[in-house]
Amino acid sequence: EAQVTQNPRYLITVTGKKLTVTCSQNMNHEYMSWYRQDPGLGLRQIYYSMNVEVTDKGDVPEGYKVSRKEKRNFPLILESPSPNQTSLYFCASSFGGTGHTEAFFGQGTRLTVV
């Protein structure tokens, strides 16, 4: 089954404790991205990757890191989480280039930083 898988689905952590949210897709998509969703603000892009080893900042990259060592995986790293990073996070993937298509989303990760 074609899907984007995020883990964990729920996470409560303390300020400053490094964490990683994993994202994996099985559709051979080139383009992957991370979003955060906050009430009244819609989705805001954190980082994106157009292919392996190619990543770039989205609209709200501060406090986050990503890597793209393999095509299927695109982890989101919070080196020192803070309470303002409490949010709902989504990973998405799509085909890139001239065949760019709609985005497929993971199930989401609800992160609480206390």
Q: Which residues of the shown chain bind other proteins in the complex (CB under 8 A)?
A: 31, 33, 35, 40-45, 48, 50, 56, 58, 90, 92, 94, 96, 100, 102-108
**Residue nearer to other proteins on the CB measure, 79 or 104:** 104
Q: How far is the CB of 14 from other proteins (least distance, A)?
A: 25
Q: How far is the CB of 15 from other proteins (least distance, A)?
A: 26
Dihedral, 52, 58, 60, 62 alpha carbons, nearest 10: 50
Nearest 5°: phi and psi at 83?
-55, -30
**Interatomic CA distance for residues 18 and 112, integer angstroms:** 13
**Residue nearer to other proteins on the CB measure, 82 or 107:** 107
**Interatomic CA distance for residues 85 and 16, integer angstroms:** 11
Q: How far is the CB of 5 from other proteins (least distance, A)?
A: 11
